[in-house]
Structure 1
Amino acid sequence: MTTTAEALSAQAAKLPPEERLEVVERILDSLDQPDASLDSAWAHEADDRLAAYRRGEIKAMALSEVIAKYQVTPTAE
């Protein structure tokens, strides 16, 4: 990390939690820039998946099944 980034991080760490969260949100927003090539790639992927579904090559899943598949279950300690 550069000295500037180190200094900003140290200053941000001194802020109250609400203000730190606002700083984080602003930084993340600054990184979230539209990317036309990425949007195009996702649109193509979605079209391909829909076409495969309509041809019967893939099946749909209920949202509850998808959520259950990726839900993390706590382990006993």
Structure 2
Amino acid sequence: MGLPAEKIIAEALQLPAPLRALVAERLIESLDLEESGEITPEWRDEIVRRCLEIDEEMVELIPAETVLARAYAALK
């Protein structure tokens, strides 16, 4: 048996594409958190701006399922 990471990678590669994308996203997010535990002032401002847009109904929210379905359909 290879290294634990090799086994995890081999198993992850057997997952359907949507689940592989989710695993990749979570791994990348974990790297971002390790680099910096703080949110920069610029990101904090962006988060506040986006939340205000949502609260004031200035933007249309699209369910994640719809976004993912469209993205996967575009890949076909």
Normalised to the residue count of structure 1, the TM-score between the two structures is 0.43
Normalised to the residue count of structure 2, the TM-score between the two structures is 0.43
Q: Which is greater in Rg? A: 1
